[in-house]
């Protein structure tokens, strides 16, 4: 037996690539511990590795402190480490790998010390042209230390900086070259910059606490450190923060909103329910998805339950709409860390129960409607349905708060290739039989925009129509070869 990654657990969920958090305190206070708490609130966006880089804007231009490693935020950092990190500007990152392998070298933030001083960067998303750019940069002498496409962005910015009047201009020129999903935070010796791709695939928001500005993947991280939400970084916008001018905005790369493509899965599953993204409450969008399921695919039952956590709000929505009582049927063990003793193959069937257990007292003798956010490969749902039956459920009706996955994702999540998607190979009736449910229904595709009040969204993994042309081959992880 040995350690294995949480990713290897036989759990059929999806993963977000990363969370980013950055802070600049104009009063000169240390920001490392606030970034730590911000990252802690973004832990759900990536549990493989994390890191913080800080710098003192009044010190020499190449000064910085960096700490990053494999593990959860509270495993990688302790009080002593944080107290040793001095600086009033900083960037932080939590990572789950969808491009580049899971190892310490690939942890972020990335820090480059170059001719103009310091460049620290953290990135959430996936580029679709990173391979070409990487080849181009390699041909002109760049030596890559990692296998992540984020390093390509960092090199591009550093190279452009040599011919630009300001670091924000260099970031803008780099953004003109990169294609795909990116929510970036960049720190230079004297400025903090945030950039979001023109489609707005991944979220990014701005907050303020006293005289300090904060950039975060989600608003829940602002709440955690007591920062006030100011606004979201708009799709295509580049925001520069400096005591010289406060916030400066460059919207020259913003496109018509009909071309936006926010990842709908942020609302369905990835983001925390206490976050708002682009003015829409994640919790409310899940409630709506549950209501639509109840309207479109009703069924007689005694109790509606959610598969925690993301299924819970949708289950409440189903209950509110149908009048069928909502209950808690599962207890989840939230303490499964990055490393976990691998169950022997023979005991693998029971691994779901490491994470989840059914409450017999709630379930026994009842007809249950079980709401989950998605079925990816179908390797978990059958076990959860069986768990309910073993606990005494007389019927189990499964409702999924998203449409069936039919296509992969190239924009920062690990929705896999088509061959691995159960809905690509099987009809809904077949999947219902495979998972052992009494009935199965998915959210109607037409309902998706309604769950986010008509915001323009990406729904490529459901219908193959992405907001930009996808790469001709799946490049995820190719640099490792
Ligand atoms: S393809 Fe799916 S998972 Fe990927 S960004 Fe689009 S909606 Fe999100």
pLDDT digits (tens, 9 = 90+) for 190-209: 999 999 999 999 999 999 99
- Listed in sequence order, the residues at least 6 apart from 54 whose beta carbon sits closer than 8 Å to its beta carbon are 30, 31, 32, 35, 64, 65, 85, 86, 87, 88, 89, 90
Residue closest via CA to ligand 1's atom 6 equals 458
Ligand 1 closest atom vs CA 14: 3
Structure-block tokens of residue 412: 């920062």
Task: Establish whether residue 14 lines the binding site of ligand 1, counting it when its CB lies within 6 angstroms of any ligand atom.
Answer: no
Q: What is the pLDDT of residue 150?
A: 86
Task: Establish whether residue 409 lines the binding site of ligand 1, counting it when its CB lies within 6 angstroms of any ligand atom.
Answer: yes
CA of 256 to the centre of ligand 1 (A): 20
Task: Establish whether residue 201 lines the binding site of ligand 1, counting it when its CB lies within 6 angstroms of any ligand atom.
Answer: yes
| φ/ψ of residue 36, rounded to 5 | -55, -50
Q: Which of 450, 445, 443 is nearest to 462 (CA)?
A: 445
Give the pLDDT band (50/70/90) at residue 479: very low
398 contacts 381 by C-beta, under 8 angstroms: yes
Task: Establish whether residue 460 lines the binding site of ligand 1, counting it when its CB lies within 6 angstroms of any ligand atom.
Answer: yes
How far is the C-alpha of 202 from the C-alpha of 156, rounded, in Å? Answer: 21
How far is the C-alpha of 478 from the C-alpha of 290, rounded, in Å? Answer: 38
pLDDT digits (tens, 9 = 90+) for 343-356: 555 454 556 777 88
Domains assigned to the chain: 10-260 (3.60.20.10), 283-463 (3.40.50.2020)
Residue with tokens 């998607």, as numbered in its chain = 421
- In the chain, count H helices and then E strands: 17, 26
Annotated binding residue 263: yes
Residue closest via CA to ligand 1's atom 5 equals 263
Q: What is the pLDDT of residue 13?
A: 64
CB atoms within 10 A of CB 453: 13
Top-confidence residue, 138 or 462: 462
pLDDT score of 473 more than 70: no
Mean pLDDT within 392-414: 95
Q: List beta partners, residue 90.
A: 23, 54
Active site members: 18
CA of 375 to the centre of ligand 1 (A): 15
Lowest mean pLDDT among 2-16, 171-185, 443-457: 2-16
CA of 457 to the centre of ligand 1 (A): 9
Give the pLDDT band (50/70/90) at residue 100: low
CA dihedral 27, 28, 32, 36 (to 10 degrees): 0
Mean pLDDT within 3-25: 66
pLDDT digits (tens, 9 = 90+) for 289-342: 999 999 999 999 999 999 998 899 999 999 999 999 999 999 987 766 545 554
Helices (H), 256-308: 264-265, 282-296
Task: Establish whether residue 204 lines the binding site of ligand 1, counting it when its CB lies within 6 angstroms of any ligand atom.
Answer: no
CA–CA distances in Å: residue 475 to residues 174, 258, 263, 416, 471: 20, 27, 19, 12, 8
Q: Which of 401, 398, 323, 390 is nearest to 368 (CA)?
A: 398
Answering whether pTM is above 0.85, one says: yes
pLDDT digits (tens, 9 = 90+) for 244-270: 999 999 999 999 999 999 999 999 999
Q: Which of 333, 327, 398, 314 is nearest to 364 (CA)?
A: 327
203 contacts 232 by C-beta, under 8 angstroms: yes
| φ/ψ of residue 471, rounded to 5 | -65, 155
pLDDT score of 139 more than 50: yes
Annotated binding residue 50: no
322-325-328 Cα angle (round to 5): 125
Residue 50 CB burial class (10 angstroms; 0-12, 13-18, ≥19): buried
95 contacts 106 by C-beta, under 8 angstroms: yes
How far is the C-alpha of 180 from the C-alpha of 192, rounded, in Å? Answer: 22
pLDDT score of 160 more than 60: yes
CA of 160 to the centre of ligand 1 (A): 30
Q: Which one of 261, 457, 461 would you pick to mutate in the ligand 1 pocket, going by the greatest count of ligand atoms within 8 A of its CB?
A: 461
Q: What is the pLDDT of residue 10?
A: 40
How far is the C-alpha of 34 from the C-alpha of 23, rounded, in Å? Answer: 8
How far is the C-alpha of 474 from the C-alpha of 6, rounded, in Å? Answer: 23
CA–CA distances in Å: residue 378 to residues 70, 137, 394: 29, 41, 22
Give the pLDDT band (50/70/90) at residue 99: low
Q: What is the pLDDT of residue 189?
A: 94
Residue with tokens 């958090």, as numbered in its chain = 21
Mean pLDDT within 365-391: 94
Mean pLDDT within 460-470: 94
């Amino acid at each position: 037996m040995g350690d294995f990654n949480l990713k290897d657990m036989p759990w059929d969920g999806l993963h977000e690539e990363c969370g980013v958090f950055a802070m600049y305190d104009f009063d000169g206070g240390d920001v490392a511990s606030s970034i730590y708490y911000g990252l802690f609130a973004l832990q759900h966006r990536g549990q493989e590795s994390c890191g913080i880089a800080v710098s003192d804007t009044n010190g020499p231009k190449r000064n910085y402190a960096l700490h990053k490693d494999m593990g959860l935020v509270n495993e990688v950092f302790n009080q002593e480490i944080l107290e040793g990190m001095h600086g009033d500007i900083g960037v932080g990152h939590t990572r789950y790998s969808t491009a580049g392998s899971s190892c310490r070298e690939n942890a972020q933030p990335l820090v480059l010390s170059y001719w103009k001083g310091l460049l620290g960067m953290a990135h959430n998303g996936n580029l679709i042209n990173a391979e070409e750019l990487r080849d181009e940069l390699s041909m002109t002498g760049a030596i890559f230390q990692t296998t992540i496409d984020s390093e390509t962005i960092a090199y591009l910015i550093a190279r452009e900086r040599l011919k630009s009047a300001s670091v924000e201009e260099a970031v803008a020129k780099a953004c003109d070259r990169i294609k795909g999903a990116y929510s970036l935070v960049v720190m230079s010796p004297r400025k903090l910059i945030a950039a979001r791709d023109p489609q707005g695939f991944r979220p990014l928001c701005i907050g303020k606490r006293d005289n300090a500005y904060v950039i975060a993947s989600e608003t829940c991280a602002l709440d955690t450190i007591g920062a006030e939400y100011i606004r979201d970084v708009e799709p295509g916008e580049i925001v520069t923060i400096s005591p010289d001018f406060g916030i400066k905005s460059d919207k020259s790369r913003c496109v018509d909103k009909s071309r936006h493509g926010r990842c709908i899965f942020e609302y369905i599953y990835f983001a925390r329910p206490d976050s708002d993204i682009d003015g829409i409450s994640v919790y409310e969008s899940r409630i709506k998805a549950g209501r639509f399921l109840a309207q479109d695919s009703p069924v007689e039952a005694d109790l509606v339950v959610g598969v925690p956590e993301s299924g819970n709000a949708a289950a409440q929505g189903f209950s509110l709409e149908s009048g069928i009582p909502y209950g808690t049927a599962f207890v989840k063990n939230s303490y499964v860390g990055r490393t976990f003793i691998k169950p022997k193959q023979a005991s693998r069937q029971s691994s779901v129960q490491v994470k989840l257990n059914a409450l017999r007292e709630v379930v026994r003798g009842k007809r249950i409607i079980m709401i989950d956010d998605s079925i990816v490969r179908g390797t978990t749902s059958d076990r959860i349905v069986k768990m309910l039956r073993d606990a005494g459920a007389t019927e189990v009706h499964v409702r999924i708060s998203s449409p069936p996955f039919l296509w992969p994702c190239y924009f920062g999540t690990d929705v896999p290739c088509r061959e691995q998607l159960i809905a690509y190979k099987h009809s809904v009736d077949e999947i219902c039989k495979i998972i052992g449910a009494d009935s199965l229904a998915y959210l109607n595709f037409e309902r998706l925009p309604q769950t986010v009040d008509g915001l323009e969204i990406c729904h490529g993994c459901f219908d193959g129509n992405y907001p930009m042309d996808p790469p001709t081959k799946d490049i995820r992880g190719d640099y490792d070869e």
